[in-house]
Structure 1
C-alpha cells in the first residue's frame, strides 16, 4: 500500500492545526453579552515507541458523518482514523530500552525509530526531541535528519540538558533562559519546514520548587503561570507554530487557568497524563478552542506493559499457554501487522 509523502502529511497536520489559531477562535466578551464559538474537537496524537505500536494506532478507527449526507435523512457514516498523528515519544522509547527518560537514549536511536514509524503507517509524525539534544547548534544538526526521516512536527522543551522526566517525583526541572530557547525555535524554523511546537515546563518547574518563605500554597502556582504565560508569548514571537504547556497537577484546573489567561495567537497543546479524567470534549469546551492538540503521551507502552504482565502471570500460574490464547493477539493478526499480504503479492509479481 502506497503511503502519503512526508510533505503531504505535514500539510494535512498544518491545515488542521490552523483552525485553532486563537486570534480567530477566541470568544468575544462585552459588558452585556458573551459570544462563544462552537467547540472544536482537538486533534489527538497517540504515542508510539515502535513501528508496530504506531501501525496499531493508525488502524484504530472511529465514525464520521459524511459531508454528502442530505438533510432529513439519516447521515451516512464512514470509518476514519481515530487519531490525527503519531507522537514519537522519548519517554516510551526510553522505556522500551529499559532506561530512564533522562536524555540517555541516543539521538540516532530515536531518529531510527522515527524513520521506521514513518514507513509503517500513514499518519503525520510529531517527534519528541526533548531539549533538542543540547544547545541550538546541536538542534541545528538534528533538524534536517528528522525532516528527511519523514517528521511533520517537532516538540522542543525549555529545560536544561540533560533533561529529567517531567512526571518523575523530585526530578530536576530547571528551565533555560528565554533568549536561549528562542534561539532554538529560530533554528528550528529557519532550518526546516516542519511544524515547530515549543514546550514550556514552567508550571512543572514551579510545582517542583519549594518556597520556604511563604505559607500560601497558591504562590508557586501563580508564579508558575506568570512564567509560563511570558514564555508562551516569547516563544510565539520567536516563530513557534504552537505552544505545549505541560502540567503534572492531578486536575486540569492549572491548565484551564493558563488557557483563560493566554492571549497568544498560536494554538496550545496539552499532554493530560496526570489529569486523565478530562475528556476531549471538555478540553474544547473549557478552553474556548485554544487547545488544538491533545497528546496521549505514554499510553502505548503502558498498555503494552500491562498486557504483557497479565499474559506472563497467567502462563506462570497455569504452567501452560492454553489459558491466554483468547487474551492475546492471534498469529494471523501479527502476520497482518507485518504486512504479510504485501509480501505475498510481491512474491507473485517478481519471483519465478
Structure 2
C-alpha cells in the first residue's frame, strides 16, 4: 500500500498490508510539488525516514530514475538504506522525469546507461537491499519486444525484480508481459488505470506484487477538500464530526498510551 508520510504508513499497517510503497507521486503531492522531479532526492529520503519510523513494515521506495546518472542513483540508494528502507525501484526514464500517466512525452534512457545505474546501485548497497528495475517501455509506446529486451538487460545488470508499468485501462499488456517473461525475476505491477481486473488474475499469472500506488493520497485529498468546503459553508463542524476520525482514534493510532506508560516508568517528579 502507498504511504506518503508517517500517518498514512501507520494506517496502512493497521489495515493489514504486508509492505509499503513510498510513492514518489504521493510524497511530491504532500509537499506541494508535481511529480516531475520537483522534490529533491533529500526531501524524498526525509519523507521515507518518517514512513520507516512509523511502522514495522518493509518499505519499497519509488526512486524515480535515481535523480540523475549512476552516481546520483547509488547515492540515493545508500541514503535510503541508511534511513531504513528495504529497497528502491528505479525507472528507465530520463531526468527530469514526468509522471507516467501524464502526456505522451516519456523518453526512455539508453538501455546500457540504465543498466549501469542498476549495477552502481547493487555495488553500493548490501545484498539485503532490494533493487527493482521499473520498465517504462509500454508507457512510452515502444511495444512488448522492447519491454522484454529491457527486462533481460536489467536482470543481467543485477535487478532483483521487474516492475512493468502500463496505463491502459485493461490489464492485457501486463498479462502478456508476464506470460512472455516466464517469471525469470519476480514481477511487480501498479494497476492504477486497469483497476477493474481482479487480483486473482495476477495471482494466476504468477505476478509477485501488486502496488496500490496513490490511493491514500487521493482519498485524503478528496476528504480534506470536502471537509474544508463544508466548514466554510456551514461555519461549524456539528454535522461533520460524525464522519471524521475522533481525536481519541488519532491518539490511539499514534500510541499516545505508550507515552503515558513510559512517563510513568521514566519521568519521576517531586
Match of 1:271 in 2: 190
2: distance between equivalents of 1:254 and 1:147?
A: 33
* Counterpart check, 1:155 vs 2:89: yes
1:299 maps onto 2:215 in alignment:
yes
CA contact (8 A) 1:200 1:232 kept: yes
Match of 2:266 in 1: 350
Contact 1:90 1:128 in 2 (8 A): yes
Higher relative contact order (CA 8 A, sep 6+): 1
- CA drift of 1:187 comes to 1.3
Supply the distance in 2 between the matched residues of 1:119 and 1:256 (Cα, whole angstroms). 36
Q: Which residue in 2 is equivalent to 1:257?
A: 176
Give the CA RMSD over aligned residues: 1.2
Deviation at 1:154, TM superposition (A): 0.6
Unpaired segments of 5 or more residues in structure 1?
1-45, 61-80, 207-222
Aligned length: 266
Q: CA deviation at 1:120?
A: 0.7
Q: Structure 1 residues 264 and 178, CA, compared in 2 at 3 Å: closer, same or farther? A: farther
What displacement does 1:224 show?
Answer: 1.2
Q: Matched residues in 1 for 2:174 and 2:183: separation?
A: 15
How big is the shift at 1:274? 0.6
CA distance in structure 2 between the partners assigned to 1:239 and 1:264 by the alignment: 15
Q: What TM-score do you get using the length of structure 1 for normalisation?
A: 0.74
> SS in structure 2 opposite 1:104?
coil
Q: Deviations over 1:262-315 (max 9, x none)?
A: 245101110000111112112112x2x1x1011101001001011112222222
Q: Does 1:55 align with 2:10?
A: yes
Q: Secondary structure at the match of 1:244?
A: strand
1:84, 1:187 → 2: CA distance? Answer: 29
Q: Say which of 69, 87, 94 aligns to 2:21.
A: 87
Distance 1:231 1:292 in 2: 19
Aligned equivalents of 1:161, 1:169: Cα separation in 2 = 16
Using the size of structure 2 for normalisation, the TM-score is: 0.95
Task: Single out whichever of 134-143 and 293-302 deviates more from structure 2.
Answer: 134-143
Provide the rounded CA distance (Å) in 2 between the counterparts of 1:278 and 1:341.
41
Larger radius of gyration: 1
The separation in 2 between residues aligned to 1:325 and 1:143, in whole angstroms, is 43
| 2:239 counterpart SS class | helix
Q: Does 1:198 align with 2:133?
A: yes
Residue 318 of structure 1: CA displacement? Answer: 2.4
Higher strand share: 1
User: Counterparts of 1:264 and 1:51 in 2: how far apart (Å)?
Assistant: 34
**Structure 1 residues 19-38: aligned runs within 5 Å:** none
Stretches of structure 2 that go unaligned for 5 or more consecutive residues are none
Output the CA distance in 1 between the equivalents of 2:262 and 2:48.
25
| 1:14-52 Cα deviation digits (max 9, x unpaired) | xxxxxxxxxxxxxxxxxxxxxxxxxxxxxxxx0011011
Paired position in structure 2 for 1:66? none
Deviations 1:322-346 (A, max 9, x none): 0111100001011123321111111
